[in-house]
């Protein structure tokens, strides 16, 4: 099967298309013929030698990728919920070794769910790591009528977070740049702040919760707009330093880093929302498999609206 192997940590050109043997599923795994996969900032961070790179390197040739949609081609002896021919999607083995940049991938059945027939593989593949992140964080921290702030609201995580916060009954304030305000409005945001016109802390206050995507100064400024007793989840790792802790303690709010985890039950909720139209994947661009390197370069710009998907 065709697979992208990362020769060594570095530029996107280090991703090389090679032929490898198809993997064999373990007892609790399925073998999926991949129809579409999506790319995330963690793919870039790992490619350049950060994030999960050392962990993957220890386990042999580095094959990136976690987000797939495809068709079950074989099932392990203990698999209960899937049969050959089922269309499935999910985020495989995260944070671990997903090996999804390939024509075939094995996945624990517990990480997948069935793809609704009405949802194309490209949209399903996009609604995996980014959608799971938004859902797992927001379901832990948001109650109906909460005032919720979403940073990078047009991005992969952000565009799902705006929609899911609305599904959960929150009042949503979204931060984005001017070119994306109409898009973010279409996702259901109640209030939109264009960060290129004014500092968000000049116009936002008393939020119950914020989903923070940039860390550094952005995280410190976000603390100012959260009310006492409220919280922030910051998504980039390593952003909570002594100064952040001090500011949060002074304000009486909780700041935490949380990491998305593979979970087929959470995928099932996302599948239901995709099927009934409450949740929609916005696709920035679909690249063919032989242009996966260009898909990496697009995510690396940090300016993608919605999701970048690769079709096989």
Rule CB under 6 A: which residues touch ligand NAP? Answer: 40-42, 130, 133, 152, 154-158, 176-177, 180, 195, 213-214, 235-236, 259-260, 299, 302-305
Nearest CB to ligand NAP, comparing residues 135 and 289: 135
Contact 4, 37 (CB under 8 A): no
Nearest CB to ligand NAP, comparing residues 106 and 152: 152
Nearest CB to ligand NAP, comparing residues 18 and 182: 182
Q: How far is the CB of 184 from ligand NAP (least distance, A)?
A: 8
* CB closest to ligand NAP, residue no: 155
Helix axes 129-141, 264-275, angle to 10 degrees: 100
Rg of the chain on CA atoms, in Å: 19
Contact 61, 23 (CB under 8 A): no
In the 8-state DSSP scheme, what is residue 201?
G
Query: What are 24's two structure tokens?
Result: 């064999």
Burial 114-140 (b: 16+ CB within 10 A, else e): bbbeebbbbbbbbbbbbbbbbbbbbee
- Report the sign of the C-alpha dihedral through residues 266, 272, 275, 281, in that order: negative
Nearest CB to ligand NAP, comparing residues 257 and 291: 257
- Report the sign of the C-alpha dihedral through residues 123, 128, 132, 134, in that order: negative
Q: How far is the CB of 164 from ligand NAP (least distance, A)?
A: 13
Nearest CB to ligand NAP, comparing residues 197 and 259: 259
Contact 187, 133 (CB under 8 A): no
CA gap 158, 189 in Å, rounded? 11
Give me the phi and psi of 216, to 5 degrees please. 60, -140
Nearest CB to ligand NAP, comparing residues 15 and 283: 283
Nearest CB to ligand NAP, comparing residues 46 and 269: 46
In Å, the largest CA–CA distance within the chain is 59
Query: What are 165's two structure tokens?
Result: 């916060």
CA 177 to chain centre: 20
| Beta pairing, strands 112-114 & 87-91 | antiparallel
Q: How far is the CB of 179 from ligand NAP (least distance, A)?
A: 7
Nearest CB to ligand NAP, comparing residues 3 and 97: 97
């Amino acid at each position: 099967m065709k697979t992208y192997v990362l020769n060594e940590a570095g530029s996107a050109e280090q991703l090389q298309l090679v032929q490898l043997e198809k993997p064999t599923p373990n007892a609790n795994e399925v073998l999926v013929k991949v129809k579409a996969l999506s790319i995330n900032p963690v793919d870039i961070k790992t490619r350049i030698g950060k994030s999960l790179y050392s962990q993957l390197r220890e386990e042999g040739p580095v094959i990136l990728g976690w987000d797939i949609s495809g068709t079950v081609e074989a099932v392990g002896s203990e698999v209960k919920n899937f049969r050959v021919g089922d269309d499935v999607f999910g985020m495989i083995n995260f944070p671990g070794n997903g090996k999804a940049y390939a024509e075939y991938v094995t996945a624990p059945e517990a990480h997948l769910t069935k793809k609704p027939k009405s949802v194309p593989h490209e949209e399903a593949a996009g609604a995996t790591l980014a959608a799971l992140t938004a859902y797992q964080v927001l379901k832990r921290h948001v109650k109906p009528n909460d005032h919720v702030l979403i940073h990078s609201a047009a991005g992969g995580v952000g565009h799902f977070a705006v929609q899911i916060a609305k599904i959960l009954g929150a009042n949503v304030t979204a931060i984005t740049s001017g070119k994306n305000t109409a898009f973010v409005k279409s996702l259901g945001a109640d209030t939109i702040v264009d960060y290129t016109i004014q500092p968000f802390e000049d116009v936002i206050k008393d939020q119950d919760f914020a989903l923070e995507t940039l860390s550094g100064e952005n995280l410190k400024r976000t603390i100012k707009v959260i009310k006492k007793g409220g919280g922030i989840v910051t998504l980039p790792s390593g952003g909570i330093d002594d100064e952040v802790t001090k500011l949060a303690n002074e304000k009486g709010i909780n700041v935490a880093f949380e990491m998305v985890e593979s979970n087929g039950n959470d995928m099932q909720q996302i599948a239901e929302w995709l099927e009934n139209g409450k949740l929609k994947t916005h696709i920035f661009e679909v690249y063919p498999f032989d242009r996966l390197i260009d898909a990496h370069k697009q995510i690396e710009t940090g300016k993608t609206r919605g999701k970048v998907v690769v079709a096989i």
